[in-house]
Structure formats: structure tokens, C-alpha cells
């Protein structure tokens, strides 16, 4: 196997790696805030759980990109294609939006989530609105996901 394939796998790994790290940090922060609220009022569990989980999607998008990339380069089926350095770099760059935007947006989304958890703690009736603030951040993760998908699909086999 040449450098090209290695670069492509590195790209797929980065998408899962950074987006996953971001989500892990994000969901962790959300969990701390959520646990605090539940000590005070156990009935809010389901509401704060949803808010905690919101920064978790980036990790899934990362997994998605990694999977699409790996299966396109034949790693999943056990018949990896020999890729040129150029094609390998294409995979690496195609995965980059998801990796970096995933990492940063999950951490930033966690901040919005924590604030929203605070909002729900004080005003449980505002749950509908509290969900929207973290969801606004997620838009950019979704856009990055889209660019990565389109880019990977566009790489000539």
C-alpha cells in the first residue's frame, strides 16, 4: 500500500477522531450541568438529557464521513484500492471540514447547551426555545458534513 492510501485513511480517521473528541467534550460538559439540575429536580431529567445530547451529533457525523470514505476506498470490504498521492490528499481534504468544524462546533454547542440547561432549570416552560440555541450552532456542523459528503462523492474512483 502506498502513501496515497495512507493519506486517505488518515483523512477518514481524522473525521471520526476530531468530531468524536469534540462530541465527547461537549456531551461531558452538558452532563455536568444536567446532573446539577437533576439533583435539584429529578423530574427535569428527560428535558436536560435531550439538551445534554445535542452536542453528541458531531461524533456521529464524523463516524458517517469516516464510513463513507472508508467504504469508497474499499477498506470496509477488505479490498483497498491503490490510490495515488493526489487522490489520497483529496480524501484528506474532503474529510477536513467535518473533522475541524465537528471538533469546534461540538465544544461551542456544549456552551450553548449548558446555558440552555440553566434556562430549563429556571424556566421549564421554555424548553422548546432552549433547544433552539444549541441547534443553531449545529447548523455549521451539518454544513461541514454536507461539504464532506459531496466532496468524497465527487472524488474520481
Partner 1 sequence: MAVVPMKKITITGMISQRSTILDVLQRLETLHIEDIPGAEDASAVFSTGKTEENQQRLTNCKKDIESLSRALEILDSYAPVKTSMLAGFAGRDRLSVSDFSEKEKKNADTLKAAEDILELEKELITVKAAVPKYENERASLGPWLNFKVPLTFKGTGCTAAFIGSFPELITEENLTKELVGETGIEAVNVDVISSADDLTCLMVVCHKDDASSFDEALRKMNFSRAPQIDDLPLKKDEELVKAIEKAYKDTDSIRVKIASYSDRREDLKFTIDSLSLEYERLSADEQILRSRRTFIVDGYVPSSQVERTEKALEPYDVVIEVQDPTAKDNVPVLLKNNSFAAPVEGVVESYSLPSNGEMDPSMPVAIFYYFMFGMMLSDFAYGLIMTVATGAILAKFKNMEAGMRKTMKMFCYCGIGTMVSGILFGSYFGDAVTVASRMFFDKDVVIKPLYVDPISNSMKVLVFSFAIGIIHLFTGLILNLWQACKQKRYADAIYDSLFWLFLVGGLLLFGLTTDMVINMFPGALTKIPDPLGQVGKVLAIIGAVGILFTGGRESKNWVKRLMKGAYALYNVTGYLSDILSYSRLLALGLATSVISTVFNSMGEMVSAGLLHTNIFGALIGVILFLVIFVIGHGLNFAINALGAYVHANRLQFVEFFGKFYNGGGRKFEPLAVKTKYFKFKED
Residue 131 sits in the site that holds partner 1 (CB under 8 A):
yes
What stretches of the chain adopt beta strand conformation (E)?
none
Angstrom distance (rounded) from CA 23 to CA 25: 5
Matching residue, cell 474499499: 74
Residue 48 sits in the site that holds partner 1 (CB under 8 A):
no
Residue (of 50, 32, 63, 44) closest to 125 by Cα position = 44
Residue 53 sits in the site that holds partner 1 (CB under 8 A):
yes
Angstrom distance (rounded) from CA 13 to CA 24: 16
Minimal distance, residue 135 CB to partner 1, in Å: 4
Residue 129 sits in the site that holds partner 1 (CB under 8 A):
yes
Among residues 13, 67, 93, 115, the one that binds partner 1 under rule CB under 8 A: 67
Residue 84 sits in the site that holds partner 1 (CB under 8 A):
no
Mark residue 78 as left, alpha or beta (left: phi above 0; alpha: psi -120 to 50; beta: remaining): left
Minimal distance, residue 110 CB to partner 1, in Å: 15
Applying CB under 8 A, the residues found at the interface with partner 1 are 50, 53-54, 56-57, 60-61, 63-64, 67-68, 76, 126-129, 131-132, 135-136, 138-139, 142-143, 145-146, 149-150, 153
Amino acid at each position: 500500500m502506498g502513501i496515497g492510501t495512507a493519506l486517505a485513511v488518515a483523512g477518514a480517521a481524522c473525521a471520526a477522531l476530531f468530531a468524536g473528541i469534540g462530541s465527547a467534550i461537549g456531551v461531558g460538559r452538558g452532563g455536568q450541568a444536567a446532573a446539577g439540575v437533576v439533583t435539584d429536580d429529578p423530574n427535569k431529567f428527560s428535558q436536560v438529557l435531550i439538551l445534554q445530547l445535542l452536542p453528541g451529533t458531531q461524533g456521529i457525523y464524523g463516524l458517517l464521513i469516516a464510513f463513507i470514505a472508508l467504504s469508497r476506498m474499499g477498506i470496509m470490504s477488505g479490498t483497498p484500492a491503490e490510490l495515488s498521492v493526489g487522490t489520497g490528499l483529496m480524501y484528506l481534504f474532503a474529510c477536513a471540514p467535518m473533522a475541524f468544524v465537528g471538533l469546534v462546533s461540538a465544544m461551542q454547542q456544549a456552551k450553548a447547551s449548558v446555558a440552555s440547561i440553566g434556562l430549563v432549570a429556571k424556566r421549564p416552560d421554555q424548553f422548546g426555545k432552549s433547544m433552539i440555541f444549541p441547534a443553531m450552532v449545529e447548523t455549521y456542523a451539518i454544513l461541514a458534513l454536507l461539504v464532506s459528503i459531496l466532496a468524497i462523492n465527487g472524488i474520481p474512483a
